[in-house]
Structure 1
């Protein structure tokens, strides 16, 4: 772990205490939208809390440029990689092998951090970065001693035995112990402990702060339909084919199913699969409207009568933030993360889950789930408002860390 005495290291210099605060986010983003959207929400809150603070997000997301970022928040796009069905990775566009791509990304990360000279580095989920690409930068920062480092973890990572093996393989325990001043868990401890099963030292566990979930708000207003609708969202959409198929099958099987639906495919559900879904949507004669991607999906959340969604972290935060009755259809591969989150949320009365083993993934089960949405309790009736303090806690912790340098 960094020297927290506040003195500059012999190899570096102390930051100018009068300069505006600078925060860097690392968001590896090899798949989906989750890491980028979480980093964007955090950067927005931290810069809004202090008119002098700026933030840069390092991201591998191929669609980072399709999002709007608030004033004093920018992003640097790292060369993208794609995960193959066998679990290996390939470069998305450059014709480099994965080792060459990782080395390029690693060099870009270190150059950006050296030039930007952040007061605080917030790393999302991966203590060592994608394939260890962050380790050279973490070692450089530790030797320099002028930047605080935080590891940010979502509320659920995976089942404990799988996570333990993954962290052992990546050397993540050692990196967490050595390089991170604090660990922020973006959820309440009363809901789930993502570090259970990890062999973290008592000293490192003492540096864990449970922030609560990250509240979402409408940042870019957009028009919504005048008629009641159910919002259908598989998040980024890359693994949403089965859920979308099930919802469309429900509307096809029951011509009386209401309200109508707005389906947001997500940017990663495309090609022939999207074309086939569009044909089915057209045949439903307006009972389902579909769009590919909406960067202002918060507005659609706020105006919906209910939500049918997968169980990703950001979507769950939106369900709670906009107090939406929701049916969650969690994925179970390659991780149990979404199932664990949805199961625990159902236990707490926050949402309902469509469970393959209990309910069956059939059109009839989806019809029943949508019909029951109006009779569900809202998350607020189960105490959701008390779970959404994450951004406020992050602002306080960031201020305390930077001030103590």
Structure 2
């Protein structure tokens, strides 16, 4: 049986949001693409954070974890390796290029950053296209304030220059909720290649299994839930959550995220009363969201996508540092009634107490939002692969 090879790249300098999106897509491609193309499917997920490789993948798929780069001020620096950033970028670039030269993927899907960190993907893209492989840029629905997004495209050489390296752009959102083509975040040369897929909501894969001998963290209902994504910038919301008063008869589970500092977690555990459990991570967050009476969370893409497939009331308290992505997402979804949102600077423990007491008596229907991106992406991939496939005449010429 013929075989289709897919490669997915995420840079992962901060957190695991990019890798988690690509992992969800990998499962969707593994499930749906064989029936659409008539071929077996294998794949490689290229990631830059060691924690990404702990999450399972479909049969025939694997992780390739690069030496890590992380944010340092306005630039990047090695996460651990004792070298300078330029040398590590070149090492990462050569590693990616060698892997793709060996695997010859039919499709390379890049999450968010078309040229990778400091241009590390530029030679990779040239070689991928010279081999006849397709290249797609996958984008979350919100990038940043339009002015900031425009500056980022210009730093890459302009939108037209970026578009010349791509066959398509997939926007992982509902265009009726938020459309970066209309806000100006996605300039015309890229917008002309773009398709909105719907949120990557329904059909997301299960998270990593719990450690051997450790059962999933599931409090007895009814309970409220606080979830902070990666956790590197969730301490303010966490402190409000552990000091707010819980609704009568409810327990509280606070999931800090794997990147919250250990000393901050220890402090939260000391502040928590007997009805609140503080854990660093949980293997079953989507199920916990679905089972909660109410959720307080930050506004990262994956957390929101997991939330939108439920009817659990949610208060989203977005991160406002570095980017305006999370506040813009929260405001857009609040405008269609999918959630409530407050800025962390304007939120107090009594405010959160009042919200929880009110929210646990309600539900939030979200039936009007397109959450089927994980069904649409395989269809788009199949169409792109079919368009790129050589014709019988080309096959004959190549054989001669």
TM (normalized to structure 1)? 0.87
* Superposition pairs of residues 1-400 of structure 1, within 5 angstroms: 19-51=2-34, 52-84=40-72, 86-144=73-131, 146-171=132-157, 173-195=159-181, 196-198=183-185, 200-201=187-188, 204-216=190-202, 217=204, 219=206, 222=216, 224-250=218-244, 254=245, 259-281=250-272, 284-285=273-274, 287-356=275-344, 360-380=346-366, 383-384=368-369, 387-400=370-383
Would you say the 8 A contact 1:325–1:378 is kept in 2? yes
The two structures, once aligned, show a CA RMSD in angstroms of 2.0
Please give the alpha-carbon distance, in whole angstroms, between the structure 2 residues aligned to 1:255 and 1:47: 42
Aligned residues: 374
Unmatched 5+ residue regions in structure 2? 35-39, 210-215, 389-400
Q: Secondary structure at the match of 1:404?
A: helix
Please give the alpha-carbon distance, in whole angstroms, between the structure 1 residues aligned to 2:224 and 2:179: 32
TM (normalized to structure 2)? 0.88
Deviates more, 1:116-125 or 1:210-219: 210-219
Q: In the TM superposition, what whole-angstrom CA distance separates every residue of 1:213-248 from its partner, at most 9, and x where no partner exists?
A: 012446368463333111210101111111111111
Would you say the 8 A contact 1:155–1:194 is kept in 2? yes
Structure 2 CA distance for partners of 1:226 and 1:97, relative to 1, 3 Å: same
Please give the alpha-carbon distance, in whole angstroms, between the structure 1 residues aligned to 2:114 and 2:85: 19
Please give the alpha-carbon distance, in whole angstroms, between the structure 2 residues aligned to 1:274 and 1:194: 36
Unmatched 5+ residue regions in structure 1? 1-17
State the partner residue of 1:6.
Answer: none
Runs of 4+ with >6 A deviation: none
Please give the alpha-carbon distance, in whole angstroms, between the structure 2 residues aligned to 1:137 and 1:296: 36
Q: Secondary structure at the match of 1:136?
A: helix
Q: CA deviation at 1:198?
A: 4.8
Deviates more, 1:369-378 or 1:105-114: 369-378
Please give the alpha-carbon distance, in whole angstroms, between the structure 1 residues aligned to 2:371 and 2:137: 19
Q: In the TM superposition, what whole-angstrom CA distance separates every residue of 1:148-197 from its partner, at most 9, and x where no partner exists?
A: 11110001010100111122113362443111111000001111122432
Please give the alpha-carbon distance, in whole angstroms, between the structure 2 residues aligned to 1:262 and 1:298: 13
Q: CA deviation at 1:257?
A: 5.7
Would you say the 8 A contact 1:234–1:309 is kept in 2? yes
Structure 2 CA distance for partners of 1:304 and 1:73, relative to 1, 3 Å: farther
Would you say the 8 A contact 1:158–1:194 is kept in 2? no
